[in-house]
Amino acid sequence: MMSGGNYTSLDNQKVSGSVPAVPDPGQVTVKFTDSTLQTFPPSGAQGKISGASRPPRDADDTFSKPVAGSDEPQQSGWFRTFTVAAYKPYFDVDTSDVVERIKDSLFPFRGTFNEKTSSNPDLYGPFWICTTLIFVAASIGTFVTYVAHKLKKKEWNYDINLVTWSAGVFYGYVTIVPLVLYVILKYFSAPSGLVQLFCLYGYSLFVFIPALCLSVVPLEIFRWVVAGIAGLMSATFVALNLKAHIKSAGERWFLIVAGIFLLQLGLSVVLKLYLFTVTV
């Protein structure tokens, strides 16, 4: 018969042998990979023209150069003109760029617009300026005719042709005139970038937006004054910015600048006669 002390030692040996000690794992740390969502907006330049995607400078082969750093398949020569990649750099501007260029167009005597945009002309501003002008011209012209008919108690009908006419005038003017001028300058050995001309003419039309809004005032003399001032500002803006460049065309540079000035001035007269000459 075994003593109590022996039972105790055997029990201790059983317990210590059958239940191994489990080490304490301690605090478990979970690590997450860094995420770019922690900083907003991202530090990379987005929505701003960068050196990798900057449009080509003032040159004749405007659409022939591939955009550096682009993952899209590149086309060579004039085939690139019909691809989206050819026009992407000209819409890669932010609000500050567009606002700054609009301010320059409202101060026509500076004549520094071409210098500031020579390396990065855009088509975004001209597109939205022309689109805004179409709706402003159509709505203001409709409102003017409506008020004139109601004051004389005449029947009034909405004229949808104001929208189509405005679209044809503004889109056509900002497209055809720079194209013709581009050919003329090329003929006189003073070539200018085609996109640069689109950009210049597009921003030159911005002054007509406030001018059209002021034409709501039902005073004929006031409307003529507004149209004249807007036309002079727009014509001066285009002529002064092209003057230094066109001087290289030789002795006929003055005739070209005068034609540019008169054509821009004529646009304001056409707008006044068609939109705000009310017959009831």
Using a CB cutoff of 8 Å and minimum separation of 24, what contacts does 125-130 make? Answer: 125/93, 125/98, 125/101, 125/199, 125/202, 125/203, 126/174, 126/198, 126/199, 126/201, 126/202, 126/203, 126/205, 127/202, 129/202, 129/203, 129/205, 129/206, 129/209, 130/170, 130/171, 130/174, 130/202, 130/205
Say if residue 124 is in the same domain as residue 241: yes
Say if residue 78 is in the same domain as residue 148: no
Indicate yes or no: pTM above 0.85.
Answer: no
Say if residue 120 is in the same domain as residue 259: yes
Report the C-alpha gap between 237 and 112 in whole angstroms.
9
Q: What is the mean pLDDT of residues 85-109?
A: 87
pLDDT confidence band for 218 (50 / 70 / 90): confident
Q: Which of 92, 117, 90, 91 is nearest to 103 (CA)?
A: 117
Higher per-residue pLDDT: 177 or 81: 177
Q: Give 234-246 pLDDT, tens digit per residue.
A: 999 999 998 877 8
Q: Please check whether residue 30 lies inside any domain of the structure.
A: no
Residue 10, pLDDT above cutoff 90:
no
Say if residue 78 is in the same domain as residue 121: no
Q: What is the mean pLDDT of residues 217-233?
A: 90
Residue 255, pLDDT above cutoff 60:
yes
Q: Which domain holds residue 178?
A: 95-275
158 CB-side CA count, 13 A: 5
Average pLDDT, rounded, for the chain: 75
Q: Give 158-207 pLDDT, tens digit per residue.
A: 777 888 888 999 999 999 999 999 998 888 877 678 899 999 999 999 99
Say if residue 81 is in the same domain as residue 199: no
Say if residue 177 is in the same domain as residue 237: yes
pLDDT confidence band for 69 (50 / 70 / 90): very low
Q: What is the mean pLDDT of residues 88-104?
A: 89
Higher per-residue pLDDT: 39 or 268: 268
pLDDT of residue 201: 95
Distances in whole angstroms, Cα of residue 199 to Cα of each of 209, 233, 247: 17, 17, 20
How many Å is the Cα radius of gyration of the chain?
34
Higher per-residue pLDDT: 174 or 248: 174
Say if residue 135 is in the same domain as residue 75: no
Say if residue 136 is in the same domain as residue 208: yes
pLDDT confidence band for 102 (50 / 70 / 90): very high
Q: Give 23-51 pLDDT, tens digit per residue.
A: 555 554 444 344 333 333 334 444 444 44
Higher per-residue pLDDT: 248 or 51: 248
Residue 279, pLDDT above cutoff 50:
no
pLDDT of residue 206: 96
Q: What is the mean pLDDT of residues 75-103?
A: 79
Q: What is the mean pLDDT of residues 125-140?
A: 92
Under 8 Å between Cβ of 91 and 124:
yes
Report the C-alpha gap between 178 and 96 in whole angstroms.
25
Say if residue 195 is in the same domain as residue 252: yes
Q: Please check whether residue 208 lies inside any domain of the structure.
A: yes
Quote the number of domains for the chain: 2
